[in-house]
Amino acid sequence: MLYYKVWSMAFLTFGIYFFYLGLYFFNVDSVIFCDWEFFSINSCSFVMTLLFDWMSLLFMGSVLLISSMVIYYSYSYMFNDLNVLRFLYLVILFVFSMMFMIVSPNLISILIGWDGLGLVSYCLVIFFQNYKSFSAGMLTILTNRVGDVAILFSISWFLSNGSWHFLYYLHFDFFWYYILLFLLVLAAFTKSAQIPFSSWLPAAMAAPTPVSALVHSSTLVTAGVYLMIRFNSLFKSFDITFLLILSILTMFMSGLGASFEFDLKKIIALSTLSQLGLMMGILFIGSYNISFFHLLTHAFFKALLFLCAGLIIHCMNDSQDIRYMGGLINHFPYTLSAFCVANMSLCGFPFLSGFYSKDLAMEFVQMNTFNFFIYFLFISSIALTVFYTLRLVYFILYGYLGVSSLCLYEEDLIMLTSMIFLVFMGLFAGVFLSWFIFSYPIFIFIPLVLKIIPLILLFFSSIFVYLLNLIYFYEISFGYIYNLIYSFLGGMWFLPSFSTFFLYRPVLNNSIICEDLISMGWGEYIISNCLVFYNNFLSKFNSLLQNNNLKLFFSAFVLFFLFIFI
């Protein structure tokens, strides 16, 4: 398909241009603010605004670079699909919605991009039309609607200022800004799947794998983090410790869930959730720069991870269970090499791109005066990241059971080309961006033990993974207690049940009761059938009167004489 190559090249060209433009804007400290007023009523003006600063341009460049590689990859991946053009147009609409959201300092135009992301993501999740996809799509869009409503409320709240430009008003400490903070955090938490809205993210894996690569790297789930980065000056006026605890708990919960999971795409989805918790946590601790830095580095290696996983699933006869894989390094050497680069970058392996942002984030947490509970959860979550990543590598590369067959599909040049570009970014994006975003060195003074804690975690987690798989931990015990712990820790602390079954079960029961009472009960007799029953009664009475019954004649004669007598 020519369309795929044309759009891929267009996105790649603009992506490189915006990326370098963002670095240039950062160096010369320049901002372009375009304002176009449609009309104004009294003191309220309706405007279309575009903000081009180093942050929006860098993010737009990263999104366009990743989407160009994903579209080029999809040219091969979706080749035999019947709706291949529809898929392309949906992905393009998805990317444009994200672009619109990135460059908007105006809540109205943010809502257009925000809503576009939610609606197009629903269309992409239900692209393969089956019951599982429809259920996942409904869970995704209904959870995101909560955030959309919060944005709508904040728009109406901002109307009292006379403008929707939040950049003009964020530095004033108005007494009602805690309501605005609550609404925006609600919107960001639903879009970035923080606790208690986490269950839609693994469910959205029903979408095609290239879409998952786009959604989980730089578009849908990062929109909430980007919104919080734009509103970061609100946090200075309020105590946001509770929000920090929620994001760190999200990080911890998803790390535990991924350590017990066997679905390849769900493990990578839960790792995305863990990294989103890390970004939110760093943001709430007080550094939006480090959060944005990790957002960019994470986008490249997470897209690469999904593209490699898509090819592996494709070649395993569409089986996503990692227990059926193993020894694949002999079959797909280039893909698995790229997979290892992305995984090691996710771990924070020294001198890969994930290391620069993750190590800086960890040292920033150690420099701040937070209690031991938050510090312990943070450290444990990073150890769990190493654990589930190495477990995934172990199952796919090393442990071979021979119970699943490979199909005849092999690596092709189109898929490998898109992977090679992302491998390059996964290796070098972190160091380049750290030079540019942090143009002067950040002095972090911590003891040697704290400095080498990431390396210690990396080392011990890898040993623990090896020992655990050596003794076949998953096959020892299938008792009741083990299953309860397994389903609690591996099932995201029952959050999917709470956000689906817990909500619709009482509503369903009440609707059945209402159905019995109103549609099939008294309401049917009193409201619907009232006129019918009345006419029926009158017709029966009339027929009884005309039945020539002797008792009726006698009673009528007696009543007639009584009437005359009275």
Number of domains the chain is built from: 2
* Domain hosting residue 327, numbered range: 239-472
Kindly report the backbone phi and psi dihedral angles of residue 32, in degrees, each rounded to the nearest multiple of 5, phi listed first.
Answer: -115, 130
Whether 261 maps to a domain, the answer reads yes
Do 395 and 303 share a domain, yes or no?
Answer: yes
At residue 525, the pLDDT reads 65
The whole-model pTM stands at: 0.84
Quick count: other Cβ atoms within 10 Å of Cβ 123? 18
Strand, helix or coil for residue 402: coil
**125/100 Cα distance (integer angstroms):** 21
- Tokens (6 digits) for 53: 């600063």
| Closest to 132 (Cα-Cα) out of 207, 210, 201 | 207
Instruction: Out of 439, 472, 505, pick the residue that ends a domain.
Output: 472
End-to-end Cα separation, the chain, in angstroms: 101
Long-range contacts of 170-177 (CB under 8 A, 24+ apart): 170/231, 170/233, 170/234, 171/233, 173/237, 177/234, 177/237, 177/238
CB–CB of 289/438 below 8 Å? Answer: yes
- Tokens (6 digits) for 72: 């080029």
At residue 502, the pLDDT reads 66
Do 555 and 465 share a domain, yes or no?
Answer: no
Do 259 and 363 share a domain, yes or no?
Answer: yes
| Closest to 138 (Cα-Cα) out of 206, 184, 91, 222 | 206
Whether 534 maps to a domain, the answer reads yes
461: Cβ contacts below 8 Å, ≥ 6 apart: 383, 384, 386, 387, 390
Long-range contacts of 84-91 (CB under 8 A, 24+ apart): 84/1, 85/1, 85/3, 87/127, 87/208, 88/1, 88/3, 88/4, 88/7, 90/120, 90/123, 90/124, 90/127, 91/67, 91/124, 91/210, 91/211, 91/214
Whether 455 maps to a domain, the answer reads yes
Do 545 and 444 share a domain, yes or no?
Answer: no
Cα 6 to Cα 9, 72, 92, distances in angstroms:
5, 9, 12
Do 371 and 294 share a domain, yes or no?
Answer: yes
Do 552 and 422 share a domain, yes or no?
Answer: no
pLDDT tens digit string along 56-114? 899 999 999 999 998 888 888 887 777 888 888 888 998 998 988 898 888 888 888 88
Q: Which helix (H) or strand (E) holds 355?
A: helix 353-367
Write the DSSP assignment of 257-323 as a string of letters: HHHH--BHHHHHHHHHHHHHHHHHHHHHHT-HHHHHHHHHHHHHHHHHHHHHHHHHHHHTTT--BGG
Do 433 and 530 share a domain, yes or no?
Answer: no
Q: Residue 130 carries which DSSP code?
A: S
**Angle at CA of residue 126, ends 318 and 420, nearest 5°:** 50
User: HEC profile for 43-100?
Assistant: CEEEEEEEEECHHHHHHHHHHHHHHHHHHHHHHHHCCCCCCHHHHHHHHHHHHHHHHH
At residue 531, the pLDDT reads 74
Whether 526 maps to a domain, the answer reads yes
Do 331 and 451 share a domain, yes or no?
Answer: yes
| Closest to 298 (Cα-Cα) out of 353, 225, 351, 253 | 353
Instruction: Out of 452, 472, 492, pick the residue that ends a domain.
Output: 472
Instruction: Out of 411, 437, 472, pick the residue that ends a domain.
Output: 472
Do 435 and 322 share a domain, yes or no?
Answer: yes
Whether 338 maps to a domain, the answer reads yes
Do 422 and 322 share a domain, yes or no?
Answer: yes
**49/34 Cα distance (integer angstroms):** 6
At residue 402, the pLDDT reads 59
Do 458 and 527 share a domain, yes or no?
Answer: no
Q: Which helix (H) or strand (E) holds 34?
A: strand 32-41
Do 467 and 530 share a domain, yes or no?
Answer: no
Whether 540 maps to a domain, the answer reads yes
Whether 283 maps to a domain, the answer reads yes
Q: Residue 395 carries which DSSP code?
A: I
β-partners of residue 44 are 41
At residue 526, the pLDDT reads 67
CB–CB of 458/347 below 8 Å? Answer: yes
Q: Is 402 left (phi over 0), alpha (psi -120 to 50) or beta?
A: left
Q: Which helix (H) or strand (E) holds 36?
A: strand 32-41
**92/75 Cα distance (integer angstroms):** 14
Residues of the chain predicted below pLDDT 50: 473-474, 476-480
Whether 345 maps to a domain, the answer reads yes
For residue 196, say if its preceding peptide bond is cis, omega within 30 degrees of 0: yes
